[in-house]
Amino acid sequence: MNVALAPRPSVVLRDADEAFVTLDGVTKVFGKGKASMTALENVSLELRKGEFVCILGTSGCGKSTLLSLVAGLDKVTSGTIEIADGRPAVMFQEPALLPWLTVRRNVELPMRLHKVDTEERNKTVNRLLSMVGLIDFADHRPHQLSGGMRQRCALARALAQDSELLLMDEPFAALDALTRDQLHDDLNRIWQETGKTIIFVTHNVREAVRLGDRVVLMTPRPGRVARIWDVDIARPRELDSFEVSGLAHEITAQLRAGAAGNGAQ
């Protein structure tokens, strides 16, 4: 049933009618001996196809490490990761756009690398740029864009990889509140339009509640799953709504209790 992916150690494909992403007892240790540091310990989690899951926790709890392991950018020390699709698309906090390329060229880069023909590339890029609101800026270069627009471009480039699994590592953390709020709306709309499965890492509790179907709270290092909340709040959601604020308050209390119990990290 499971077929090993050579370039992605410890990550295997699984049948799509099962859980879309499964982490089973995932542990990650950096270094050896007395210099070793356990970043993640015995993390187990299942995601359904099309689900939007937010991974939440304090700095240093292993959120980004977990994302890197799912992406196949690093190897687990023990445990397994199984997915029902090929290599995930990844979007980081920094947009990492190539400054000498236009918006259009940046977005089409994954398709060029996969030798997609010109007509198909143009059609896909136009669709994605329209989706993220950048069609009028297709010929601009990154330095001509605002921070929010650069992140929209990075999102379009991630979508151009045509993966069913999108991994997002605090992509809006460096943006101002108004821009972040608009991008929340845009991401929610794009997720509903595309049906992607999304794992979204954040340290912002309200952001997690606003976006996620579920919120997974990690303990301070070593990162373990402390608790999982189902977010049964109708969409679209507002950051300052009573429902979002109420659940965010509950999660924040648990977050603070966990940090206090583990001491400063």
Q: What is residue 263's predicted lDDT score, i.e. its pLDDT?
A: 47
Q: What is the pLDDT of residues 49-74, one digit of tens each?
A: 999 999 999 888 999 999 999 999 99
Residue 111 and residue 157 in one domain: yes
Q: What is residue 261's predicted lDDT score, i.e. its pLDDT?
A: 65
Residue 168 and residue 249 in one domain: yes
Q: What is residue 48's predicted lDDT score, i.e. its pLDDT?
A: 94
Q: Is the pLDDT of residue 203 over 60?
A: yes
Q: What is residue 76's predicted lDDT score, i.e. its pLDDT?
A: 95
Number of domains, the chain = 2
Q: Give Dmax over CA atoms of the chain in angstroms.
A: 57
Q: Where does a domain end: 120, 146, 162?
A: 162
253 three-state secondary structure: helix
Q: What is residue 9's predicted lDDT score, i.e. its pLDDT?
A: 42
Q: What angle do CA 249, 23, 245 make, to 5 degrees?
A: 10
pTM for the full model? 0.88
Q: Count CB-CB contacts under 10 A for residue 217.
A: 22
CATH of the domain at 171: 3.40.50.300
Q: What is the pLDDT of residues 213-265, one digit of tens each?
A: 999 999 998 999 999 999 999 999 999 999 999 999 999 999 888 776 664 44
pLDDT average, residue stretch 28-34: 90
Q: What is the pLDDT of residues 129-157, one digit of tens each?
A: 999 999 999 999 999 999 999 999 999 99
**Amino acid at position 59, single letter:** S
Q: What is residue 258's predicted lDDT score, i.e. its pLDDT?
A: 74
- Give me the helices (H) in the chain, please: 63-71, 103-113, 118-131, 147-159, 177-194, 205-211, 242-262
Domain membership of residue 93 (yes or no) is no
| Angle of the 103-113 helix axis to the 147-159 helix axis, nearest 10 | 20
Q: What is residue 66's predicted lDDT score, i.e. its pLDDT?
A: 95
CA distance 180 to 159: 19
Domain that holds residue 194: 3-88+163-262
